[in-house]
């Protein structure tokens, strides 16, 4: 490997790793991509309880994010529209219509209390230098819930991507409680636009789902789309409906979009078309139904890894315990510091140690006197000796506070601190129960109605357009021009078809072919013997009988061949006979019949007439099989009479499929 190749490989791997970790894939711990984390960090720094211009937030976040303001603005809008951590004011766009948000200078946002409760605790958060070294930013937030499961995410990196669908926050919190108790659970996606969802193939976030719009078909002549599938806007849905209408799959008179806060698309049908008949067509032929594949790829310990949804929740149940223990121990540390300070303060004032330093001349003497004064009382404080910080804190107590010192108030405060320490010790000893109570507290901070489940979980068979296509177009054949198709004006209607059908036809000369439904296709002027849908199951059931004349050793020989057609390739021309001198004389679809033959006079034949039955000849599996000799005599005429069985010879009424005229 050359030096240039090694450099290219190393640089590419570094770039790919950077894109995966620092741009596109969220971290499992807090569920954020770097830009989202930096936005939340900026909001925590700027938060004063009031709304802030988004433009200001974007500008401040650029201290941490080196990729420009547009990416920050878009990420902030998406976070705000999730409505979990950020409260918004102004036009943040509409996911139902696909309309974008207003410019950042016109819209405002602020943090919700829920965000601080779930994410914010600087004392147990690890920080690193920002990209320019001037500021500090968090590595990850100590999140108490699986944010990425609740909000969902999408991202494309180098050679990998992630798609995690949003889930209902209350269901996720209940699942986290069950995970704390070691119980089994399952959660399924929930979308703000509602709709109907089939999760039979969800596979714990490692498979796919099918989503449908909610249709109201109570009015037979007007169907209303009331909820949209996830990822579909009213504009894109209407475009797919209009496309289906243009190709003849739907018969729409008009379509109107009244979508605003809720989806409302009204479809009015043409005459003799009704809402109930069009439901399956809408699901099959338009974006009213979509399949979404999911790939829960997240950063785990610095590396990308696909993690099932329930495993993410179990991880966060364990992580919640760690975060709560860290918070409790940190709070306990602060309480012990307060307890030490209040106790030292009480002894310093109550035992009048402050009086002993009035005559000291140097700082060293003051320090020594205070330490000596506390010697008899150190058992009340702790085994740790007085530190310089302790002494500085005591010396900073103002005279007014000393003169007004309330010993009872001090004792009450110390008692309260000790009670709080005891409470923390109890919580540390019952950490699982405490974790559950914290999750219950988080639930209480959320609006039940605002975060209620929107998407209905159901089960339905996914339809394709061929299953529900309406066969409402006529296939005609014009023998004068040789054209077959839906746009041929002459001739009778031979078959009702849809745009997705294929057509099998056999001409009177024995050629046959399968073609897709088209406006016009030239097949020749020889005449049409047979036409049907180009479905092998349909065609293979037919028994074709062909009587043809062949030239063998300069003599006319009449052959008969009976066969099935079980295989064919679209647009390939086949023939039931082979050889330039072979000519089809008669074709029939009758399963049983009698062939009557009259021979030409003057050839010395003793028998001038003869009859044979179709049943006397075998049925081959393919038209490529060689035929059997019917007669070597010159024919004057040949006719076929249908029979119901071997003993009946009742002739059937002739039809289009009856065959070639005897005189040809």
Write down the residue that tokens 């109930």 correspond to: 276
Same domain, 404 and 269: no
Give the pLDDT score at 653. Answer: 33
Boundary of a domain, candidates 444, 479, 507: 444
22 and 159 in a single domain? The answer is yes
Residue 193 covered by a domain: no
My answer on whether 506 and 630 are in the same domain is yes
46-90 tens-digit pLDDT = 999 999 999 999 999 999 998 889 999 999 999 999 999 999 999
Q: Specify the pairing of strand 511-516 against strand 574-575.
A: antiparallel
- Residue 383: burial class (beta carbons within 10 Å; 0-12, 13-18, 19+): exposed
pLDDT at position 430, please? Answer: 95
Of 118, 159, 135, the residue nearest 29 (C-alpha) = 118
Q: Which residue has the higher pLDDT, 464 or 394?
A: 394
Does 530 qualify as catalytic in the annotation? no
Q: Which residue has the higher pLDDT, 436 or 383?
A: 436
User: Does 9 lie in the same domain as 128?
Assistant: yes
| 21 part of a folded domain | yes
Q: Which of 11, 15, 18, 106 is catalytic?
A: 106
Residue 402's pLDDT band (boundaries 50, 70, 90)? confident
What sections of 107-146 are H helices per DSSP? 113-119
Nearest to 575 by CA among 539, 623, 535, 530: 623
Q: Are residues 280 and 319 in the same domain?
A: no
Query: Which helix (H) or strand (E) covers residue 485, if one does?
Result: strand 483-485
Task: Print the domain residue range for 416.
Answer: 309-444
Lowest-pLDDT range of 330-339, 561-570, 574-583: 574-583
Query: Which is more confidently placed, 2 or 90?
Result: 90
As a whole number, mean pLDDT of residues 187-193 equals 95
For residue 308 the two structure tokens come to 């099932």
Q: Which of 258-272, 405-419, 420-434, 639-653 has the lowest mean pLDDT?
A: 639-653
Does residue 599 lie within any of the structural domains? Answer: yes
Strand ranges across the sheet with 52-53:
52-53, 108-111, 86-89
CATH number of the domain encompassing residue 439: 1.10.268.10
pLDDT attached to residue 363: 85
pLDDT at 447 over 50: yes
For residues 550 and 579, is the Cβ–Cβ distance under 8 A?
yes
> Residue range 460-473: average pLDDT?
69
Handedness of CA 17, 22, 24, 26 (dihedral sign): positive
Question: Mean of the pLDDT values across residues 405-426?
Answer: 89
Closest CA to 586 of 516, 639, 623: 639
79 located within any domain:
yes
Name the phi and psi angles at 310, rounded to 5.
Answer: -65, -30
Name the token pair of 540.
């293979």
Per-residue pLDDT band for 4 (boundaries 50, 70, 90) equals low
**Percent of the chain whose pLDDT exceeds 70:** 91
Residues 6+ apart with CB under 8 A from 209: 165, 189, 197, 198, 199, 201, 202, 291, 292, 294
Same domain (yes/no): 504, 634 = yes
198 in a domain, yes or no?
A: no
Q: Looking at residues 500-520, what average pLDDT do you find?
A: 91
Mean pLDDT over all residues of the chain?
A: 87
- Residue 136's DSSP bridge partners are 129
How many domains is the chain partitioned into structurally?
Answer: 4
Residue 389 resides in a domain: yes
485/440 same-domain check: no
Confidence of residue 466 (pLDDT cuts 50, 70, 90): low
pLDDT in tens, 118-131: 999 999 999 999 98
Q: Is there a single domain that holds both residue 408 and residue 368?
A: yes
358 and 437 in a single domain? The answer is yes
Determine the 3-state secondary structure of 470 from DSSP: coil
Lowest mean pLDDT among 276-290, 401-415, 442-456, 570-584: 401-415
Query: Is residue 657 over pLDDT 50?
Result: no
CATH number of the domain at 283, please. 3.30.1360.40
Question: Is 206 domain-assigned?
Answer: no
Same domain flag for 109 and 241: no
User: Is the CA virtual torsion 377, 383, 388, 390 positive or negative?
Assistant: negative
pLDDT at 664 over 80: no
More confident residue, 217 or 18: 217
Question: Does 194 reside within a domain?
Answer: no
- Asked whether residue 417 falls in the same domain as residue 513, the answer is no
**CATH number of the domain bearing residue 68:** 3.90.199.10
Task: Indicate whether 478 and 539 sit together in one domain.
Answer: yes
Contact 644, 601 (CB under 8 A): no
Name the pLDDT band for 492 (thresholds 50, 70, 90): confident
């Amino acid at each position: 490997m050359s030096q240039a190749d090694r450099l290219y490989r190393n640089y590419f791997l570094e770039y790919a790793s950077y894109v995966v970790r620092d741009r596109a894939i969220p971290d499992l711990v807090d569920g954020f991509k770097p830009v989202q984390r930096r936005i939340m960090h900026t909001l925590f720094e700027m938060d004063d309880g009031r709304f802030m211009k988004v433009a200001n937030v974007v500008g401040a976040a650029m201290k941490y994010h080196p990729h420009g303001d547009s990416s920050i603005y878009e990420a902030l809008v998406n976070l705000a529209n999730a409505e979990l951590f950020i409260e918004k004011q102004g036009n943040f766009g509409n996911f139902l219509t696909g309309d974008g948000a207003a410019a950042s200078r016109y819209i405002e946002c602020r943090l919700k209390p829920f965000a601080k409760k779930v994410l914010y605790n600087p004392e147990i958060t690890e920080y690193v230098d920002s990209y320019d070294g001037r500021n500090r930013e968090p590595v990850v937030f100590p999140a108490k819930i699986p944010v990425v499961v609740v909000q969902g995410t999408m991202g494309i990196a180098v050679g990998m991507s992630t798609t995690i669908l949003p889930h209902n926050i209350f269901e996720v919190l209940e699942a986290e409680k069950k995970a704390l108790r070691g119980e089994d659970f399952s959660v399924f996606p929930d979308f703000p636009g509602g709709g109907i969802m089939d999760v039979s193939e969800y596979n714990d976030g490692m498979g796919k789902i099918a989503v449908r719009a909610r249709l109201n078909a109570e009015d037979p002549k007007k169907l209303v789309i009331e909820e949209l599938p996830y990822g579909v806007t009213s504009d894109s849905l209407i475009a797919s409906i209009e496309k289906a209408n243009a190709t003849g799959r739907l018969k729409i008179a008009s379509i109107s979009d009244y979508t605003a806060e809720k989806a409302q698309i009204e479809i009015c049908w043409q005459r003799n078309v009704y809402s109930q008949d069009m439901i399956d067509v809408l699901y099959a032929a338009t974006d009213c139904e979509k399949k979404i594949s999911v790939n829960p790829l997240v950063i785990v310990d610095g590396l990308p890894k696909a993690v099932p949804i329930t495993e993410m929740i179990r991880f966060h149940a364990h992580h919640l315990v760690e975060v709560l223990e860290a918070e409790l121990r940190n709070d306990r540390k602060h309480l012990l510091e307060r307890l030490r300070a209040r106790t030292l303060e009480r002894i310093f004032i109550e035992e009048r140690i402050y009086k002993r330093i009035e005559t000291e001349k140097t700082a060293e003497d003051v320090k020594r006197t205070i330490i000596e004064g506390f010697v008899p009382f150190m058992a009340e404080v702790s085994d740790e000796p007085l530190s310089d910080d302790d002494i500085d804190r005591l010396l900073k107590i103002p005279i007014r506070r000393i003169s007004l010192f309330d010993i009872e108030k001090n004792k009450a405060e110390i008692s309260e601190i000790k009670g709080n320490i005891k409470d923390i010790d109890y919580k540390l000893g019952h950490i699982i129960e405490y974790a559950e109570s914290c999750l219950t507290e988080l639930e209480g901070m959320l609006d039940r109605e605002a975060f209620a489940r929107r998407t209905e979980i159901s089960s339905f068979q996914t339809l394709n357009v061929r299953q529900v296509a309406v066969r409402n177009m006529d296939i005609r054949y014009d023998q004068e021009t040789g054209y077959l198709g839906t746009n041929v004006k002459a001739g009778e209607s031979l078959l009702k078809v849809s745009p997705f059908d294929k057509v099998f036809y056999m001409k009177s000369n024995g050629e046959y072919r399968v073609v897709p439904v088209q406006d016009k296709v030239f097949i020749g002027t020889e005449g049409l013997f047979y036409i049907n849908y180009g479905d092998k199951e349909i065609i293979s059931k037919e028994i074709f009988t062909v009587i043809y004349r062949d030239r063998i050793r300069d003599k006319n020989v009449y052959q008969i061949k009976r066969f099935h057609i079980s295989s064919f390739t679209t647009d390939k021309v086949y023939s039931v006979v082979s050889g330039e001198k072979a000519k089809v004389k008669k074709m029939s679809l009758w399963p049983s019949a009698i062939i009557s033959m009259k021979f030409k006079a003057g050839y010395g034949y003793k028998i001038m007439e003869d009859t044979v039955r179709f049943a006397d000849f075998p049925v081959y599996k393919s038209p490529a099989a060689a035929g059997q000799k019917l007669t070597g005599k010159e024919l004057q005429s040949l006719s076929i009479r249908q029979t119901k069985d071997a003993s009946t010879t009742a002739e059937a009424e002739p039809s289009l499929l009856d065959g070639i005229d005897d005189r040809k």
